[in-house]
Amino acid sequence: MKILQVLDYNTFLNDYIAVAKSVNNYVDFIWFRIKENDLNFVYEKTLQLIKFIDREKLIISEHVDIANILSLRGVHLNKNSIPPEVIKNKFPYLTIGYSAHSLEEISRIDADYYTLSPIFFTKKDYPITPIGHSVHIPSGKKVYALGGINSENVSLLKDNGFYGIAGISFYKELEKLKDILKG
């Protein structure tokens, strides 16, 4: 299974580069989730980040312009973004990710990969209902399980059709997660 580290700027703030450096050799991709900031701020933070990690691993939230200018791996979209097919048409070399919250959404949206959340309980400021690990992933879709995943429950996802796992707090136990996924 692949591992997608969610590098959430609002979670890590000034530690975002240290976290990225610590996970760089363990993960397949890093999704730099940096939202609700002005474009110049996002550009500057991303520019700092690529000094320490491989651009080919880096996916940025929604900012197609920055992904294109800095030659990043791709962009990660959501239901409020420009439709994935529009971006794919204009920038066919970018990997397009999509944040989904249902299997119906995954079936309906055409992206290169998806995060499906929340799989397990995760602490939020609003009520959530976990989707659970026993889901039928649509054929041909690369879906990363996201939400509440840790070394105690990751083995439940191994043979359930998920392409990989994604999370914010993985950096705390990446070696353990990798061992479980291998074994």
Q: What is the pLDDT of residues 130-175, one digit of tens each?
A: 999 999 999 999 999 999 999 999 999 988 899 999 999 888 888 8
Phi, psi of 174 (to 5 degrees): -65, -40
User: What pLDDT sits at residue 182?
Assistant: 78
Expressed as residue numbers, the domain containing 89 is 2-182
User: What pLDDT sits at residue 173?
Assistant: 87
CA 11 to chain centre: 14
**For the chain, how many structural domains are there in total?**
1
Half-sphere exposure (CA, 13 Å, Cβ side) for 129?
A: 2
- In this structure, which amino acid lies at residue 44? E
Q: What is the pLDDT of residues 54-66, one digit of tens each?
A: 999 999 999 999 9
Burial class (CB in 10 A: 0-12, 13-18, 19+), 97: buried
The one-character DSSP state at 138 is P
CA 68/CA 83 separation, integer angstroms: 17
> Is 80 exceeded by the pLDDT of residue 126?
no
What CATH number does the domain containing 145 carry? 3.20.20.70
